[in-house]
Amino acid sequence: MAEGKNHYPDKIEHRYEFLVAKGQVPQRIDHYLTQMIANATRTKVQRAIDAGHVVVNGAIAKASRKIQPGDIIVCTVMKPPPMELIPEDIPLEIVYEDDVVMVVNKPAGMVVHPGFGNRYGTLVNAVLWHLGEREARLIALESDDEDDSAEGEKEGDDGALASEDDFFRSAEIRPGIVHRLDMDTSGLMVVSKNADYHAVLAKQFADRVVEREYRALVWGQMMDDHGMIEGNLARSTRDRKLFQVVEKGGKHALTEYHVVERFPYCTLLRLKLHTGRTHQIRVHCAWQKHALFGDPQYGGGAVLYGGHNSVFRTAAQKLLNNFQRQALHAKTLGFFHPRTGVWMQFDSELAEDMKNLVEKIRELQEVS
């Protein structure tokens, strides 16, 4: 199987053939196929028609064509193969483990669980292997188009599109996963090894009794030593994969910060999550004009402060080129053990790349 750098598998051809019934009322072909093909959306059907993959009575059809009784319609679409959870022998940094839970220090660059474009090399693949599984699990998906449009789909509880939300929340696709970290965020995660206690841990996250603290290097100097950032989050109107602060609607989000160390053009922060929204820290900091260093999705992938200082600007750009991720690390994690009820708290050192980054920024004070 050919794999790209994002782990997209080769698609498989699916062929649908329909004989229009005698009593069928004339209808636009895109509307007809949307009704006839399971899980199809009008956007997907139009995409197939535009590509010339819909043929009526041997001739390529246009979306405006109206079907007639007796028409023979052939529609060919390319779909990803069924999802498989494949145990993989990937090293894990295990901070704690018993027969119920394990706490791991996830490296930056590792996706937490398989998705449409990341089917292998995830934390789930590694955990399955660690727990002794060797056979692949075949997962049936309701939606298998990684380029789904938002058209006609409702939003899930956490702001994700409903089909995507169901997929990500499925116990099948994310066995043991209680919470997520972004692919390029390093740090501590708890994984449930026992299905009976998974819900207990999940409820702690939902009830916000879990302790989570992060370290982040942000652009600019935060003026206050301590503060709260409060702003509702919703999906970005420009890019559905991103989020933004909104005045109306969205989900309530609250982030607490403490300044750890100030530099001329950057600040090292300790952040505590009081809610657990997707991209919360990244969006809140960017909203305050202090985007995370190295976070191109939220504006931190360029030299935002100190650009007038040519020495700093050159050095900072070199650091950005070499770092290649947002400077965010999940440093502290605390929760009640789901079986014993005992409070457990874990701490981790900054990931080596982020530790080196902070040291380099510290050294740049001399030229600022």
Q: Which of the residues are catalytic?
A: 182
| Distances 229 to 10, 64, 245, 295, 329 between C-alpha atoms, Å | 43, 51, 11, 19, 18
Strand-pair partners of 18: 73
Q: Identify the H or E element spanning 187.
A: strand 186-192
Looking from the CA of 138 toward its CB, the CA atoms found within 13 Å total: 3
**Token pair recorded at residue 186:** 């390093």
The neighbour count for residue 253, using CB atoms within 10 Å, is: 24
Q: Which of 305, 89, 100, 76 is nearest to 191 (CA)?
A: 100
d(CA 242, CA 222): 24
| Distances 13 to 18, 81, 139, 142 between C-alpha atoms, Å | 17, 9, 19, 17
Contact 129, 17 (CB under 8 A): no
